[in-house]
Amino acid sequence: MFTRHSLAPLARLFLVALVVFPLALSPAFAAKKGKDKGKNNGKDKIEMTDLQSFDKTFKKVKKIDKTVSGSEKEMKTARKDLNTALGIKNGTPLDKAIKELSDRADGKINVAMNGKTPKLETSDAVPSDVDKSIDAVNGFTGAFVISLEEMATLPEETDQLIKKTKKMPEDLKSEMLDEGNFLDVIFKAPKTLKVLQTNIEITAGLPKRTFDVATDMADVLDLVVTEFGGEIPGGGFLPPGLSK
């Protein structure tokens, strides 16, 4: 059973942590880590902290992170599918693979716009590898257009969430100094602080990840159109909300 006397050393240690950890969780630190880490690459995931006031924000961050991760995965899948269809080295960048397809097609591929989506069509018989590659391209162009539409509002939403995470170090002090939460929080502190720091880092990195994958997708769509004789639609493929 804990007494006021037995908790005194823990309390002193905890008060030290209240000074140290807010520094580790500071916005500048989180922003630097987010910048250094660049893309999440699926290594880190948003987890709940068991602090209701924080988890309300992190549930929204988790939804955005899932959307961005899904778009990053689509880019990898598109590259793999086109590389496989062409029978070229796995990992060949999409721009090189698209130009390889253009060379093999020998002028027999045209591009048409299906709404906002570029679609490749043949004007004459083509080899089977070219035919399969056309299917691969038409598959990912549709997916890219949908993803760009889904990501269009993310920068504004993310900015609001980042503002909230910047206040969390100070908010955490209040949570931990609340007498009613003291015993519960003190034993959860190490895990909570680790999760909180990771979550803040992921949140800080979301704007760059969103912009990177969105511009990559838009660039690929631009290339599909121009490489096969089409014209990029007015305004381009990158939604205004995703441009710098």
The band of 243, judged by pLDDT with boundaries at 50, 70 and 90, is confident
Confidence at 4, pLDDT banded by 50, 70, 90: very low
181 pLDDT higher than 70: no
Per-residue pLDDT averaged across 197-205, rounded? Answer: 94
On the question of pLDDT at 20 being above 60, the answer is no
Partner residues linked to 119 by β-bridges:
112
Buried b (16+ CB within 10 A) or exposed e, 41-61: eeeeebbebebeebbebbebb
pLDDT tens digits, residue range 48-60?
Answer: 988 888 999 999 9
Q: Which residue has the higher pLDDT, 166 or 217?
A: 217
Euclidean distance between CA atoms 208 and 90, whole angstroms? 26
Residue with tokens 């804990």: 2
Q: Counting runs of H as helices and runs of E as strands, what totals does the chain give?
A: 8, 2
Whether the pLDDT of residue 176 is over 90: the answer is no
- Dist CA 25 CA 200 (whole Å): 8
136-150 in b/e form (b: 16+ CB < 10 A) is bbbebbbbbbebbee
- Please tell me the distance from the alpha carbon of residue 161 to that of residue 189, in angstroms, as a whole number: 23
The structural domains of the chain, with segments of one domain joined by +, span: 78-180+208-234
So what's the pLDDT on residue 107? 94
CA-to-CA separations, 94 to 151, 153, 203, in angstroms, rounded: 21, 26, 28
**Alpha carbons 135 and 109: distance in angstroms, whole number:** 12
- pLDDT of 194 reads 86
Q: What is the pLDDT of residues 35-90, one digit of tens each?
A: 544 445 556 899 998 888 899 999 999 999 999 999 999 999 999 999 999 999 99
Percent of the chain at pLDDT exceeding 90 = 64
pLDDT of residue 178: 61
pTM score over 0.85? no
Instruction: Give the pLDDT confidence of 92-135 residue by residue, as tens digits.
Output: 999 999 999 999 999 999 999 999 999 999 989 999 999 999 99
Secondary structure of residue 118 in the 3-state scheme? strand
User: Does residue 148 contact residue 242 with C-beta atoms inside 8 Å?
Assistant: yes
